Amino acid sequence: MYELFSCRNCIHNCVQSLNIGQGAGFCLRHDSVIFNPIDTTCKYLHRKDMPEFVVGDGQREHAAEFTLFSGLASLHEKQPIERIRYSEQFVWERRVFDPLVHAIAQYYKIKPKWAFIEGLTGGTDGRRSLVYSSIVRRYMDTCETWRSSYRLVLALVDEIDEKPVFDARSVLIRDGDDPAAVREEALWDVVFSRISGLQEYGYHSGLESLMWATDSLNGGLSNLDWNVLHVELSKMREIWTNQILEHAQANNVFFPQAQDEDPEQLEGE
Q: Output the pTM of the full model.
A: 0.92
pLDDT > 90 fraction of the chain, expressed in percent and rounded: 83
Cβ 189 vs Cβ 127: under 8 Å: no
Q: Say yes or no to pLDDT of 151 above 50.
A: yes
The pLDDT of residue 262 is 45
Of residues 266 and 256, more confidently modeled: 256
Instruction: Find the helix or strand (DSSP H, E) in which 26 lies.
Output: strand 25-27
Q: What is the pLDDT at residue 218? A: 82
Q: Are strands 73-74 and 25-27 parallel, antiparallel or unpaired?
A: unpaired
- List % helix, strand, coil for the chain (3-state, nearest 5): 55, 5, 40
What are the structural domain ranges in the chain? 2-250
Kindly give the residue spans of alpha helices, DSSP state H, lying in the chain: 52-65, 88-93, 99-105, 113-118, 126-143, 150-158, 179-205, 208-211, 218-222, 226-250, 263-266
- Decide if 40 contacts 72 (C-beta within 8 A): yes
Question: What is the distance between the alpha carbons of residues 138 and 61, in angstroms, rounded to a whole number?
Answer: 20
pLDDT at residue 8 is higher than 80 = yes
pLDDT for the residue 160? 96
pLDDT of 256 above 80: no
Mean pLDDT of the region 234-249: 97
**pLDDT value at residue 6:** 98
pLDDT for 21 equals 96
Peptide bond into 263 cis (omega under 30): no
pLDDT in tens, 176-227: 999 999 999 999 999 999 999 999 999 999 999 999 999 999 888 999 999 9
Q: What is the pLDDT of residues 95-130, one digit of tens each?
A: 999 999 999 999 999 888 888 998 888 778 999 999
Q: What pLDDT shows up at residue 30?
A: 97
* Residue 136 identity (one-letter amino acid): V
pLDDT > 70: percent of the chain: 95
Q: Are 127 and 15 in contact (CB under 8 A)?
A: yes
